[in-house]
Amino acid sequence: MLQSRSGNVEINGASLAYETAGAGPSLVMLHGHVLDQHQWDDQFQSFASDYQVVRYDARGFGRSTWPPGDYNHAADLHGLMRALDLDHAYLMGCSGGGATCIDFTLQYPDMVDGLILVGTGIAGFQPSGPPPPSLLAMSEALKRGAIDEAVEYSLQVWTDGLRRTPDQVDRAARERTRAMTAQLFSRRPVEGAVQQTFAPDALARLNELRAPTLAIVGSEDNQMLHDIADMIVAESPNAQRVVIADAGHHPNLEHPEAFDQIVRSFLSRL
């Protein structure tokens, strides 16, 4: 049975919940920003056999707090790694967690051994065209306090994608996503909590992203995430891109074995 250690650390005014297990090179996992650290349940178990794995709930997610005041997710990651005595690590981040990984790497390049970016966002990216109707409907449902309705719209946007119906998606993965998203959407926003960004933003600095980088995208993920992955590969000197078929925004939940194989192959070459 996997032996792990969990707890909370005070970082920049917030209490961040984390879990760590295993031994070897350090691998820190950052969840997407409609989920929490349980996005990585499968990978946490799998990779602990060869790595010291760390996962945590970002400020405002899962069991971490979200106090009023200015904050920066990359600064929180830096504080967490220092608190856990990690001088350097591989970073694996999904969506908003991937954007945090990119910001962190640009600020602290010597602390990053490699990057795995999954359906990643990036600071400074502006999508072209109107947002998907389901995303607008999700926002309206949240304003009305219709949590279940908002979660279903979120699943349509991020899990199903435009070309799949719900019954074409792995049921267990969809329900795990639903549970994490529902917990997040039920959380009351904190007045006075303001996310700060770096200037210039990451999109303008991609040529400075020197760490070996793997950009993973689900074939059914939103087109803007494919566009971001293409930009990373075009602008960053050590980046490559892999598409996982029949997967949406969180491919590690839908196809964990294929996902793990892709990541292990990348890490084995570093």
Q: Tell me what pLDDT residue 128 has.
A: 84
The reply to whether 50 falls in a domain is: yes
The reply to whether 97 falls in a domain is: yes
The reply to whether 79 falls in a domain is: yes
Task: Give the burial class of 265: count Cβ atoms within 10 A of its Cβ; 0-12 exposed, 13-18 middle, 19 or more buried.
Answer: exposed
Q: CA 216, CA 58: separation in Å to the nearest integer?
A: 21
The reply to whether 251 falls in a domain is: yes
Dihedral angle at the C-alpha atoms of 213, 169, 128, 225, nearest 10 degrees?
Answer: 0
Among 131, 117, 228, residue whose Cα is nearest residue 140 = 131
β-pairing, 14-21 with 52-56? Answer: antiparallel
Q: What is the pLDDT of residues 121-171, one digit of tens each?
A: 999 999 888 888 999 999 999 999 999 999 999 999 999 999 999 999 999
For residues 205 and 186, the answer to whether their CB atoms sit within 8 Å is no
For residues 77 and 108, the answer to whether their CB atoms sit within 8 Å is no
Q: Tell me what pLDDT residue 132 has.
A: 87
Q: CA 19, CA 99: separation in Å to the nearest integer?
A: 21
Could you give the number of structural domains in the chain? 1
Q: Tell me what pLDDT residue 31 has.
A: 98
Cis bond leading into 200, ω under 30°?
yes
Instruction: Give the count of beta carbons closer than 10 Å to the beta carbon of residue 164.
Output: 16
Residue 15's CATH number = 3.40.50.1820
The reply to whether 248 falls in a domain is: yes
Rg of the chain taking only CA atoms, in angstroms: 17
Dihedral angle at the C-alpha atoms of 8, 31, 124, 199, nearest 10 degrees?
Answer: 20
Q: Tell me what pLDDT residue 127 has.
A: 87
pTM: 0.98
- Structural domain for 93, as ranges: 4-128+190-268
Helix 147-154, helix 133-143: angle, nearest 10:
160
For residues 76 and 58, the answer to whether their CB atoms sit within 8 Å is yes
Q: CA 262, CA 55: separation in Å to the nearest integer?
A: 19
Instruction: Give the count of beta carbons closer than 10 Å to the beta carbon of residue 239.
Output: 21
The reply to whether 149 falls in a domain is: no
The reply to whether 176 falls in a domain is: no
The reply to whether 106 falls in a domain is: yes
Element at 171 (helix H, strand E): helix 171-185
For residues 238 and 212, the answer to whether their CB atoms sit within 8 Å is yes
Q: Edge-to-edge, what's the strand order for the sheet holding 52-56?
A: 4-11, 14-21, 52-56, 26-30, 89-94, 112-118, 213-218, 239-244
Q: Tell me what pLDDT residue 130 has.
A: 86
Regions in the chain scoring below 70 on pLDDT: none
User: How would you label 211-220 residue by residue, b for 16+ Cβ within 10 Å and e otherwise?
Assistant: bbbbbbbbeb
Half-sphere exposure of 190 (CA within 13 A, CB side): 17
